[in-house]
Structure 1
């Protein structure tokens, strides 16, 4: 409590405008000279300055009751595509609020919005555009009410609404398809693993306590004189692992890292359309399994938050990805052209032989190219527009 009381004068002094400081200084100077020289005129000046200060403090510190909410439609977008923001303000104070000025920070921009006069109990909605020039996470808000006195001696910011996040996804390009990998069947491919519930019938076996009665084959059970249940082959979908190298030394320029994320986002979108099970390993973030199947939201959100860092070496990243998706049939490694090609080849050499693998190297402005190492594709991308052509060559 004592700390709050001591911090209040400091907070008030930070809210004094240059004009307010001039008036305070003038009043103190006039008061000192009036007491020293006995001039009534200077005492009047000091009294007027004191009156302005008191009135300004009362107006600025007078409580008000405003309910505000801030939201974005949509709350996710792509780089270069702005979104619509909405601010709803309700004046719950019995006194009108005259043309309040609110600040809505959105990334690097700090727009000031002047609202119309809010009468007692009135509600107003204000729309604005939030720019999204680059991939990343933009914090929009909090909504701050800039409260001042009529003369402009004091200014105070009051928080009306909490901040919200805008996720700006990497730019993407449409891909015609992805490599087939070792398994490719959107309806499921029968494996050697046995399951109690799937598509491909395998055999009948004796009932054991705990088996689902729905799988009892009653006709065979009647002939055999004991309960028999159906057993199936476990079916699998095409499963892919996408590794994104986030180490700073892998990219010669920050734009190369952005291009790498756009490559990863394009592969993610194509995998979602094809119904693949996709596991994304991007830096410290791992998302995968059925969460990604058909819904790339989690993977794209992770790419929004990705940032270059020290990160772990590629072999460790590979081990973590294969551990997260033990039944994967294909592997993509996205890195930068600053990464030594020999190192990428060594990483590819660690991939199991029954797993399709491809490496994509991103370097803005560089020449595109396609090479192979030990039967594995190594693609160099100089721009996002080169990705569909290169991927079509790999698929073919």
Structure 2
């Protein structure tokens, strides 16, 4: 019997505590800091005023009661709105205009007064004034979304705010879900011939010989294990010995774009943003040309990791928009793998590379670039794209690689065309 009573008391106390906590949360979300001050002033002013006979404190206490009651009136009721938040385009490019729209409908049985809508856009709040609406009428308000920097801009949810003139209470009502706008880095159209500096789409013959391919090389005597389909019967009849065809191995073009995320390789944010745009331009061109392409960025070592992470992170390359989605969120980090180490990982872990683009900033020295190029096999064409807005654009040949220096994104097209002509 005693145990049942204890269990009942515990359950009742938990229920009361839960109800009190729920009420406290609701009040905390409605009452502003100024409102709490006024509520605390009421009992203090009335108690001290009546006890000491201070008429001024009594008047202040009852005035606070009147203000609290008046503020509570502003929270009564709910506007019969139906809202819809729309982004005509879920993707945008840095610097290009982007807009969103809110459609408001009066779904009630009477006319509603005008109100102000709040739409969170990134770190800012956009206020939209909605006029008085008759029953069943709809109004659409559009607003601008800033695209000054690449990334993901969170838009919404749309909310209305009911508050008293003094700011004692404030109730926010959310009417829609939040949406996201992906702001892509700026890219330029690169000629398709520029991204394949050595081998074309179908593959070009190499010096490696194979028993089966499309580029004929020579005839040789049949050996045990050779495929009989490649016996050259006319030569066999002439020599009296089985002769088989031998081919030069062809290789499909595999382009790799390696973007450093290490702050060690860049002098400032301008260089890094230019490098992201360069990587996007090269990758998008290769994807649209149907080439085999890999776009990788430096891995970032966690802050409290005991050892550095030696790896690279591949980005999506099956669609241009997916690649730009991934590039929209990359950030430079002091803990990112430098270009030299990232290049070693790429060279060891990516077979069949024909062209490698290394994208970095002005702080990457010529010696470091030569060491990066040395990580690749001799038959790989290595092109370093150095992003430096303060330097004179140009192209130079170092041991084992071409170095293209650009100061603006538009210079990438001319620099690649010049490099392709030289190659």
TM-score by length of 1: 0.76
1:354 to 363, 379, 382: 379
What is the deviation of 1:85?
A: 0.5
Structure 2's unaligned 5+ residue stretches are 1-14, 217-226, 230-247, 300-312
Cα pair 1:80 1:132 within 8 Å, conserved: yes
How far apart, in 2, do the equivalents of 1:66 and 1:236 lie? 63
How far apart, in 1, do the equivalents of 2:71 and 2:375 lie? 72
**Deviation digits for residues 122-178 of structure 1, max 9, x if unmatched?**
654321111211222222223332221366531122333333222211222232342
1:244 to 259, 280, 286: 259
1:338 to 363, 387, 390: 363
How far apart, in 2, do the equivalents of 1:139 and 1:153 lie? 29
1:79 aligns with 2:94: yes
Q: Which residue is 2:295 aligned to?
A: 280
Q: Which residue is 2:306 aligned to?
A: none
Which protein has the larger Cα radius of gyration, Structure 1 or Structure 2?
A: 2
In structure 2, do the counterparts of structure 1 residues 96 and 14 end up closer, same or farther at CA, with 3 Å as the change threshold? Answer: same
1:184 aligns with 2:200: yes
Structure 1's unaligned 5+ residue stretches are 206-232
In structure 2, do the counterparts of structure 1 residues 141 and 319 end up closer, same or farther at CA, with 3 Å as the change threshold? Answer: farther
Cα pair 2:195 2:286 within 8 Å, conserved: no
Cα pair 1:181 1:238 within 8 Å, conserved: no
What is the deviation of 1:369?
A: 2.6
Cα pair 2:195 2:285 within 8 Å, conserved: no
Cα pair 2:162 2:172 within 8 Å, conserved: yes
RMSD of aligned C-alpha atoms? 3.7
1:103 aligns with 2:118: yes
Cα pair 2:96 2:147 within 8 Å, conserved: yes
In structure 2, do the counterparts of structure 1 residues 8 and 237 end up closer, same or farther at CA, with 3 Å as the change threshold? Answer: farther
In structure 2, do the counterparts of structure 1 residues 3 and 277 end up closer, same or farther at CA, with 3 Å as the change threshold? Answer: farther
Aligned residues: 359
Cα pair 1:277 1:288 within 8 Å, conserved: no
Q: Which residue is 2:322 aligned to?
A: 298
How far apart, in 2, do the equivalents of 1:389 and 1:148 lie? 59
Corresponding residue SS for 1:184: coil
In structure 2, do the counterparts of structure 1 residues 273 and 61 end up closer, same or farther at CA, with 3 Å as the change threshold? Answer: same
How far apart, in 2, do the equivalents of 1:364 and 1:390 lie? 15
Cα pair 1:179 1:394 within 8 Å, conserved: no
